[in-house]
Structure 1
């Protein structure tokens, strides 16, 4: 690969990272706190590519003027690998992890906590909760703060051998360490929605159904469900 091509690819790669950081697509790969690093990395790579292009243009002018000799180099072919992330971002950027990842990975066990660590749920007929908080309370809150309370959960549909799950992927740093949080929907109506359909569900936990044997996947008695657009940030943290 010629030096000129390498430099152009550096500019494209830096621009691709900046695009991810600015338009929010970086959330498919890393958590929100990483946005400054994505933007900074893209800016540095873009600057390096621009500086290299300017330097080579100036060197070529000096060579044509006969003031210096310009050696011919043969850069490593591995530089072509720079094309892969550029094409991935501009052409085939993958969506956030979905139902396939849930089926392949075991559910993350809820983090053990003392019952005193769970404050009472706020007042209201319907309480919005993340799946992470719901699963943790269902599995570990011996005071039963969820019992008899109607909650609102948002996630995507996953069909497995035992029924229909509502799921969200949870990440600590980036999509590479993602693991699923899941609840099981008892309403047969949920079965008509295909995998990866995003739903907003209201319902109540079935006490005693979140146990280690099922990865703390509690059953939810569904009161209502409706489709919703996939959020820009599909992960929980």
Structure 2
């Protein structure tokens, strides 16, 4: 790969990273919010490296050689061109600008099992919930309490959960679902709550569900899916950060 092409790729990739992290919040479809400063720094560094490489390449092309010709003439006479496959490296960059891939959603969640890992809080007991309700909760936190809290802190409490709808096996059944990431979308874990009561929203629709936990004995298992009896289901717009 020629120096000019390498410089161009550095600039374009760096600009794409800056585009999704500095000038928009598209990066939230791929990584957690806390990684934004690192993305900005990486994008800026790539652009600088590309500009330096381009400046060096231009200087080499314009510098006279011993035979009196410019470096451009010598380069033109001896270059064998850049392998065509090298240009394929531009496809991910173009995808960011033109396609803007969506965050992981209903398709991913529907083809993965719910994961409710036993939290460290389960050993010493969960912190008490606010005295007044309804209580807004992360869906993953609700799952953890419903599955692992032997003290039954959710009994009789009305909670508010936010997520997107995915169909469940059986006619009319559906899950409220959310994906949780530790670092990036590649490590996403799925949290699900089976919703009973009310009509099922369209697949992938974002909703806010207010309801009560319905104990049914499915506890103490990483793959357990708790049940919520819905008092109200309200459609909402997709949040800017789709992951928990």
Answer yes or no: same fold by TM over 0.5: yes
Give per-residue Cα distances to partners, 1:34-69, cap 9 Å, x unaligned.
112211111111111111111122222214874665
Q: Once the 2 structures are TM-superposed, how far is the Cα of residue 158 of structure 1 from its aligned partner?
A: 0.4
* Residue of structure 2 in register with 1:155 after alignment: 163
Runs of at least 5 residues in structure 1 that lack an aligned partner in the other structure: none
TM-score by length of structure 1 reads 0.90
Aligned counterpart for 2:133 among listed residues 95, 118, 125: 125
Q: Which stretch of structure 1 is more off in the superposition, 107-116 or 37-46?
A: 107-116
Contact 2:181 2:188 in 1 (8 A): yes
Q: Give the alignment of 1:1-150 within 5 angstroms.
A: 3-22=3-22, 23-63=24-64, 66=69, 70=75, 72=79, 74-112=81-119, 113-114=121-122, 116-150=124-158
1:178 aligns with 2:188: yes
- Please say if residues 4 and 53 of structure 1, whose CA atoms lie closer than 8 Å, have aligned partners that are also in contact: yes
Structure 1 residues 214 and 206, CA gap change in structure 2 (3 angstroms): farther
Asked if structure 2 preserves the Cα contact closer than 8 Å seen for 1:127 and 1:152, the reply is: yes
The offset of 1:202, in angstroms, is 0.5
Q: Quick one: distance in 1 between partners of 2:80 and 2:6?
A: 12
Work out whether residues 20 and 26 of structure 2, in 8 Å CA contact, stay in contact via their aligned partners in 1: yes
For residues 33 and 213 of structure 1, the distance between their equivalents in structure 2, rounded to whole angstroms, comes to 31
**Structure-2 change in CA distance of 1:208 and 1:160 (3 Å):** closer
Is the CA contact (8 Å cut-off) linking 2:148 and 2:220 kept in structure 1?
Answer: no
Paired residues, what number? 234
CA RMSD of aligned residues (A): 2.2
Secondary structure of residue in 1 paired with 2:118: coil
Aligned to 2:99, the other structure's residue is in SS state coil
What are the ranges of 5 or more consecutive residues in structure 2 without an aligned counterpart?
A: none
What secondary structure does 2:117 align onto? coil
Larger displacement relative to structure 2 (56-65 or 26-35): 56-65
